[in-house]
Amino acid sequence: MRGRTKLIGLGAVVAVGLAAVGAWRYEEHVQRQPDWQIHHTAVPDAAKKVDDVLAQFERDHLFKAGDYLHSAGQHPDVQVLSVTGQTHWQTGVTLVLKVTGHGAVRGFDDVVLRQNDVPICFRLQMGPENDSRDDDIDCPAGAPLPVPPDPSLQGVDERLQRALKPVGPNEAAVRAAVARLNLDPAIHQDFAVQDGIVGVALRASQYDCVVARVAARGDVTLWRPSHTQLAPGELDCSAGLALSSEFNTSPH
């Protein structure tokens, strides 16, 4: 009985040793493999970012080539290599994107052995009848198209409220108060006066808008129209909106 126990113990030691050798050989094999393993795992990571691009296209109801280009170029880790066509329902629009994906090769116990960021290219066909995409295509040569990043109104609300409260409904004073905020010059500013009330609108992009109404000293109301309300053909991000009956209303 004792001899059998020793035999089993010896077998366990041998099994553990073989497993260790196998793990070492696997890791050595991985280290010698070409970068296709990194590439293979980077594709699904990049594909998730393309999913976000397409979701934004749909959310914003885009159909013009220039709007597709601008929207895609605002996403982190996404570059637009080419755009062809004019509109979705007439010519169709084709975009080629270069997207940074993170790839990793893992060994036993899910240990990361190698990892890197690599470019993965995608082709998006928007219309004219159906939308489609091709993942992991060969990346064409050439530099990405220039897409200036949109400015942002993030964090501006409280600063604008504080700046406007002490000045009262005086257009010159309101303009000066906004100027002291030193906003990004790319942010469009609009001012208007009606019935002793000053309206202010700050617009960074189609859907990034802050509208304010200054009715009296200390009486300042800020409002951010919803994404739905700022869609093309709906409300305009203007000082006139601050002075209209649609100011501070809910979407239909």
CB contact at 8 A, 167 and 181: no
**pLDDT greater at residue 108 or residue 131:** 131
Query: What pLDDT, on the 0 to 100 scale, is given for residue 10?
Result: 38
Query: What pLDDT, on the 0 to 100 scale, is given for residue 25?
Result: 44
Q: How confident is the model at residue 108 (pLDDT cuts 50, 70, 90)?
A: low
Query: What pLDDT, on the 0 to 100 scale, is given for residue 33?
Result: 52
pLDDT digits (tens, 9 = 90+) for 41-100: 999 999 999 999 999 999 999 999 999 999 999 999 999 999 999 999 999 999 999 999
Lowest mean pLDDT among 104-113, 115-124, 175-184, 199-208: 104-113
Q: How confident is the model at residue 18 (pLDDT cuts 50, 70, 90)?
A: very low
Q: How confident is the model at residue 35 (pLDDT cuts 50, 70, 90)?
A: confident
